[in-house]
């Protein structure tokens, strides 16, 4: 049996231009989810193409074995 979690960049540490998140912030957040057993199964990730490295926004779905 699985449990699901809606993930959102609002859950990641904010920094950078207009309080967006950097690529590094997003990676840290996603790695924390992975360490907690979550597997991202869908992700819509949007970067501002005019600013290398951020800001970034994303949302998606993760799943893990029900505990």
Domain that holds residue 45: 2-65
Domain count, the chain: 1
List the one residue out of 2, 11, 42 whose CA is nearest residue 29: 11
Residues found in the chain: 67
Three-state DSSP class for residue 64 = strand
Integer angstrom CA distances of residue 48 from 4, 22, 36, 38, 53: 28, 10, 29, 27, 8
pLDDT computed for residue 18 by the predictor: 53
User: What are the tens digits of pLDDT across the range 10-20?
Assistant: 787 765 555 66
What is the share, in percent, of the chain residues with pLDDT greater than 70?
Answer: 82
């Amino acid at each position: 049996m699985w449990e699901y979690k809606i993930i959102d960049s609002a859950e990641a540490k904010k920094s950078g231009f207009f309080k967006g998140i950097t690529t590094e912030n997003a990676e840290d957040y996603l790695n924390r989810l992975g360490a907690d057993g979550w597997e991202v199964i869908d992700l819509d990730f949007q970067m501002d193409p005019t600013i290398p490295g951020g800001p970034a926004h994303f949302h998606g779905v993760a799943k893990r074995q029900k505990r």
